[in-house]
Amino acid sequence: QPPRQLRERKQKKLYSEDWALGDEDIEGRRTFNLQDKLDDPAFSSSNIVKEMHGNELNVAYFQRHGFNTPLLFKEKTGLGLRVPTSNFTINDVRMCVGSRRVLDVMDVNTQKNSEMTMKEWQKYYEDTEKDKLLNVTSLEFSHTK
């Protein structure tokens, strides 16, 4: 049997150490308008999402239909949600939960978990010279001030 020969590549394959780049760092990323996609017949929303009004969502709906399709609410009316005003800040969050509240935090690049107090998180969040990107994995504060 003759020795195996490798084919020559048509294009050079590029590898990068920056595997964790965010979308905003990727040149030529795709952007689109959600409403345009929902209105486009090629993306029939009846197959993808179920559009509903807030007053239609209740326990009985889930008992009858389950939750197998994403639900789309174009307005928050009828959902019973209280959404903070547009000037709600990280300081307002700290005032609601307290400075010593412990938060679960994840380093985006390493995916390692750690803990921070709310006061430490606020300091990190407001720092304009961040040396790493952190995410709070969960912070429930619906039953606070």
- Kindly write down the DSSP assignment for every residue of 5-31, as one continuous string: -PPPPSS-----S-TT--GGGSTT---
Confidence band for 31, pLDDT divided at 50, 70 and 90: confident
The average pLDDT across 22-35 equals 64
Q: Which residues pair with 50 in a beta bridge?
A: 71
Using CA atoms, how far residue 31 sits from 27, 36, 42, 74, in Å, is: 12, 11, 17, 20
Question: Which one-letter DSSP state was computed for residue 131?
Answer: S
The predicted model scores a pTM of: 0.52
Interatomic CA distance for residues 134 and 19, integer angstroms? 16
At residue 84, the pLDDT reads 85
Is 104 in contact with 96 (CB distance < 8 Å)? Answer: no
Q: Is pLDDT of 140 > 90?
A: no
Cβ count within 10 A of residue 139: 14
